[in-house]
Chain A
Amino acid sequence: MTPALPFAVGAAIVALAAAVGWIVMAPKPIDSAVAAEVSEPGDEAAGKTVFFVGGCASCHMSPGQKDPLRLGGGMELKTPFGSFFPPNISPDPRMGIGRWAPAQFANALLAGVSPDGEHYFPAFPYPSYRHMSVKDVRDLLAFLRTTVPVAEPSRPHEIPFPFSIRRLVGLWKRLFLPAIARPLASDPTDLEDLGRYLVEGPGHCAECHSPRGWFGEIIESRRLTGGPLPTSKGKAPDITSAGLKNWSESDIADALSTGLTPEGDTLGGPMAEVVRNLSQAPERDLAAIAHYLKTYKAGAGR
């Protein structure tokens, strides 16, 4: 036996493993039933609420800009993996998402898959958005179509190799996006259901208010217990029942719409932008968010 044979077998095994891995990491789009449902006409007015609860503008406005309805993108999001630049999601047909079909939009939010069939990096908080109801996704798109078209190209991410390989995100999704029922229940008559839906779905609170592990995954046992801010020094505080023990539910709801805390302080840093968004949200949504957080015990999952 020549020494070349075991080498060839070894190489074949490696190639096979790589091929299987490549397939395992393939983007998985939404199913056809969801695609059909999301293609029904959306409700702009309801979508406006989703837009502000979801905080789209916080990342998709351009730097230094104040108008939340110009979504040209480009606000740098610094992470340990490199700098992400949220894209233009204005209705501009060339630079924005004006030509996207509803199913493509739903694929982005619910599956983290782009119209080109590639993975989005989870800096885009689809690990939370994937719990959104199809109706909310549809309404949100209807509202986004009414915002100002911005003819600015999206700035490419600055992500070093090997994190720049989008296909690897498939493995990340397999490891860190537990298969749980989607969407979360959003029964508007049940304050706890509604709160869980808003916090864990569109509100994506846990994306900043949780510590992350080596691969950028949220450490589930410490979900909502606070985390370092990605873009500045400082901390997104613990917002579980333990962290909010000196706050009443109405303190929380009021702080989210006025920015004033019961200690006489104001919410600052990136939370100030969240407050500007949530001041546009219905009172009942804020009460539900407050109720869910105030009763949330660390380690409870979602």
Chain B
Amino acid sequence: MKKSTASVLAVVLSAGLAAAAMGADAIKERRALMKANGEATKPLVPMMKGTAPFDLATVQKALKTYMNAAEKMPALFPDDSKTGDTHALPAVWENKADVDARFKKLGEDAKAALAEVKDEASFKAIMPDFFKNCGGCHEKYRAKQT
């Protein structure tokens, strides 16, 4: 009897720890995907300004990075990842359907841009609106601490 209580307790405890670890893992994964997005975008910013030469391969790589993030992100907001080392606001969990829809649109827009951006002119025509996908979520769902 005593032994079984202890083992139940152990199972409960380890499940709790595993859940906590999962939440922390989700945060880590979210941050890694978002960091990759930022790094992919960084060379695009001077291209938008015209201070760096347009490079189609770099743009396409960035768009594929966004598509990857858009696909994976919706599953990375389990309830146990609300707090911790994250800039995500509680609003994410209060409006999860909206968040999911925004990632879906991000993925679709990135896919469309991948087909449509062919040169500097189409890049400069399409991307400013595309980046509103990023800003839209960062406005409602993220609070940077620095």
Interface of A with B (CB < 8 Å)? 229, 232-235, 237, 250, 254, 258-270, 272-273, 275
Contact = CB atoms under 8 A, between A and B. Distances in A.
Task: Kindly name the residue among A233, A235, A260, A262 whose own CB sees the greatest number of chain B CB atoms within 10 A.
Answer: A260
Given A235-B145, A265-B38, A273 B45 contact: no
Nearest to A262: B45
B33 interface: no
Contacts of A264: 37-45
B146 A267 contact: no
Contact of A234 (B51, B87, B135, B136): B87
A269 B145 CA distance: 11
Given A267-B138, A272-B138, A262 B128 contact: no
Interface string B13-45: 000000000000000000000000111111111
A233 B146 CA distance: 11
Q: How large is the interface on B (under 10, 10 to 19, 20 to 34, 35 or more residues)?
A: 20 to 34
Interface of B: 37-45, 48-49, 51, 87, 89, 128, 131-132, 134-139, 142-146
Main secondary structure of the interface of A (DSSP, over half): loop
A50 B136 CA distance: 25
B7 to A, nearest CB: 41
A250 B51 CA distance: 11
Given A254-B49, A266-B135, 7 more contacts: A234-B145, A258-B48, A260-B131, A263-B38, A264-B44, A268-B138, A272-B136
Nearest to A238: B146
Contacts of A275: 135
B49 A266 contact: no
A269 B138 contact: yes
B48 A266 contact: no
Contacts, number: 75
Contacts of B39: 264
Main secondary structure of the interface of B (DSSP, over half): helix
22 contacts: A232-B89, A234-B87, A234-B143, A234-B144, A235-B143, A254-B45, A260-B45, A260-B48, A261-B45, A263-B38, A263-B42, A264-B38, A264-B39, A264-B40, A264-B44, A265-B38, A265-B41, A266-B135, A268-B135, A268-B139, A268-B142, A269-B138
Contacts of B37: 264
Ordered nearest first, which 6 A-B pairs have the shortest CB separation? A234-B143, A268-B138, A264-B41, A264-B42, A272-B139, A264-B38
A233 B143 contact: yes
B122 to A, nearest CB: 17
A235 B44 contact: no
Nearest to B40: A264
B131 A258 contact: yes
A261 B89 CA distance: 21
A262 B87 CA distance: 20
Contacts of A250: 49, 51
Task: Kindly name the residue among B40, B44, B89 whose own CB sees the greatest number of chain A CB atoms within 10 A.
Answer: B89
Nearest to A226: B146
Given A260-B45, A263-B38, A264-B44, A269 B144 contact: yes
Contacts of B134: 266
Contacts of B139: 268-270, 272-273
A233 B143 CA distance: 6
Nearest to B137: A268
Task: Kindly name the residue among B40, B131, B138 whose own CB sees the greatest number of chain A CB atoms within 10 A.
Answer: B138
